[in-house]
């Protein structure tokens, strides 16, 4: 399938694996890229730029296809060494960067200078337009359904994607709630030129996370996620578990007085415990409503081939059949 997204990133299928903390290691990125999508290493999961450089080199050993790096610009006081991470990306010869969080404007000139394509993740039309205005090459439009940070507007993709299509000139992918060939065709119908998946890619053979995480996603239904940290305007969609229940109880009790320190135990530093050790109640971890559509743990190639076959069948058989009537 050819779209402006496949052309932009030099990939076979318009499917991107979004950056995921303690999931987006070289193994997953390489597997997605080898299957014809765009795999993404999560930059900040690597504690230092030197470690990111090593992770990029490791990925390069596993694939000769294009892959990207996610750089999340966090609203924190002591910023990570972003110049160092960007240097590692440039020197590693990476040609795609997925930015997320704060406005990436400051970093665009140096990325562009080195021929790196930038796709910025946005949860609203206004932020997407801003990304276009500052020179991003594409946008990943993340609807309210998404795992991770859906923003504070709560607009689901059935509205957000066509609204983005009404306003944007640069290409965009649909992100949040995407799982299969139906998602891809729907995303294309609503104006996107591909899709980005997070949660779906965790439940794959190659995702280097504990099997408990994959089983939790397969077992979960679309009713099992919760929004946390809304009082802090840092809303995150997570899978419900014992720690999330404690967190939500604190949010109810403290109301507008809630501070980050009150919930630090449930949210800070919990990813290695969950993703690597499989201690599922160690804290709150991002997961999309799309868990309700995830019933198996295929390889990335099986998943992507299945998505493309299903999408083609929907377009050429189901939809073409309606058109012929
Ligand atoms: C476990 C997990 C960790 C994530 N970590 C990040 C991250 O560090 N940076 C980022 O930009 N997005 C992160 N995301 C968001 C994904 O890149 C993607 O936008 C989102 O998962 C899409 O929604 P979906 O899960 O419904 O597919 C994370 C998502 C999950 C599920």
Alpha carbon of 74 to ligand 1 centroid (Å): 14
Name the residue of 82, 142, 147, 307 to mutate for ligand 1: max ligand atoms within 8 A of Cβ.
147
The alpha carbon of 249 and the centre of ligand 1 are apart by a number of angstroms equal to 25
Q: What angle do CA 37, 38, 43 make, to 5 degrees?
A: 150
What is the rounded (10 degree) CA torsion for 121, 127, 133, 137?
A: 10
**182, containing H or E segment:** helix 181-189
How far, in Å, is the centroid of ligand 1 from the Cα of 168? 23
Domains plus CATH for the chain?
Answer: 4-207 (3.20.20.70), 211-289 (no CATH)
pLDDT of residue 75: 74
Task: From 17, 19, 200, 239, give the residue whose CB has the most ligand 1 atoms within 8 Å, as the site to mutate.
Answer: 19
The arithmetic mean of pLDDT across residues 277-297, rounded, is: 98
Q: Would you state the pLDDT for residue 78?
A: 85
Give 186-190 contacts, CB < 8 A, sequence gap 24+: 187/157, 187/161, 188/3, 190/157, 190/158, 190/161, 190/162, 190/165
* Pocket-forming residues, ligand 1, beta carbon under 6 Å: 18-21, 23, 42, 70, 72, 100, 121, 142, 145-148, 175-178, 196-200, 285-288, 290
Which atom of ligand 1 sits closest to the CA of residue 199? 25
pLDDT in tens, 215-251: 999 999 999 999 999 999 999 999 999 999 999 999 9
pLDDT at 49: 98
3-state class (DSSP) for residue 201: helix
- Model confidence pLDDT, tens digit, residues 93-149: 999 999 999 999 999 999 999 999 999 999 999 999 999 999 999 999 999 999 999
Q: Kindly give the distance from the C-alpha atom of residue 291 to the centroid of ligand 1, in angstroms, as a whole number.
A: 13
Average pLDDT for 22-51: 98
Angle (CA) 38-41-43 rounded to 5° is 140
Q: How many CB atoms lie within 10 A of CB 151?
A: 17
């Amino acid at each position: 399938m050819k779209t402006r997204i496949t052309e932009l990133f030099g990939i076979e299928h318009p499917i991107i694996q979004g950056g995921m903390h303690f999931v987006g290691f070289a193994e997953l990125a390489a597997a997605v890229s080898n299957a014809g999508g765009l795999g993404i290493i999560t930059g900040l999961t690597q504690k230092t730029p030197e470690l990111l450089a090593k992770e990029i080199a490791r990925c390069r050993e596993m694939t000769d296809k294009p892959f990207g790096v996610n750089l999340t610009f966090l609203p924190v006081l002591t910023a990570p060494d972003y110049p160092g991470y960007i240097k590692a990306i440039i020197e590693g010869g990476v040609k795609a960067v997925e930015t997320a969080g704060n406005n990436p404007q400051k970093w665009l000139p140096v990325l562009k200078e080195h021929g790196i394509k930038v796709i910025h993740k946005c949860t609203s039309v206004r932020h997407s337009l801003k990304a276009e205005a500052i020179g991003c090459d594409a946008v990943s439009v993340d609807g309210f359904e998404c795992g991770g940070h859906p923003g504070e507007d709560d607009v689901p993709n059935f509205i957000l994607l066509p609204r983005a299509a009404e306003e944007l000139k640069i290409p965009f992918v649909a992100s949040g709630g995407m799982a299969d060939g139906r998602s891809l065709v729907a995303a294309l119908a609503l104006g996107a030129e591909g899709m980005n998946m997070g949660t779906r890619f965790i439940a794959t053979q190659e995702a280097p996370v504990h099997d408990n995480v994959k089983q939790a996603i397969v077992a979960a239904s679309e009713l099992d996620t919760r929004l946390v940290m809304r009082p802090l305007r840092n809303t995150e969609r997570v899978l419900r578990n014992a720690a999330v229940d404690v967190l939500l109880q604190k949010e109810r009790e403290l109301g507008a007085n809630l501070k980050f320190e009150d919930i630090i135990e449930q949210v800070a530093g919990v990813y290695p415990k969950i993703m690597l050790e499989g201690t599922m109640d160690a804290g709150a971890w991002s997961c999309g409503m799309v868990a309700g559509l995830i019933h198996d743990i295929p390889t990335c190639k099986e998943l992507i081939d299945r998505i493309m076959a299903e999408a083609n069948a929907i377009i050429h058989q189901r939809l073409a059949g309606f058109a012929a009537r």
